[in-house]
Amino acid sequence: MVQKAVRLTKDDDGDGNIDQYGLGVEPSIIRLTPFVWSNGGELVDDEENPTRLTLDTPAAQEAMQAFFDLRDKHLVMSRVRSSTRAQSPRTRVSSSTRST
């Protein structure tokens, strides 16, 4: 996924600013969840009766680091959080390319 996102990330006009990001994922808990689960972690201590978040476990910490590395190390996600309406069509992921 990282390699493909890197190839899709582009600075079309060479001005040093990314014009197209290879990955359009908002840095929020709901978007982080699949990363935690795919790394063998959980978000809460008990799914039936949750009493605390478990983002301090090694699996969750590794997943969060990988998630934020997409933005900070690989530079394939925008650092700016903006609404879809405020984004240009080039930086927004087209609804026709999203899987449902």
pLDDT tens digits for 2-58? 999 999 999 999 999 999 999 998 888 899 999 999 999 999 999 999 999 999 999
Q: What's the domain count of the chain?
A: 1
Q: Is residue 94 situated within a structural domain?
A: no
pLDDT at 92: 45
Q: Is residue 33 situated within a structural domain?
A: yes
Using alpha carbons, select from 14, 32, 13, 34 the residue that is nearest to residue 77.
Answer: 32
What residues make up the domain containing 6? 2-86
Q: What pTM was estimated for this model as a whole?
A: 0.70
- Average of per-residue pLDDT across 66-95: 70
How far is it, in rounded angstroms, from Cα 33 to Cα 28? Answer: 9
**Contact yes or no for 4/22 (Cβ under 8 A):** yes
Q: Is residue 95 situated within a structural domain?
A: no
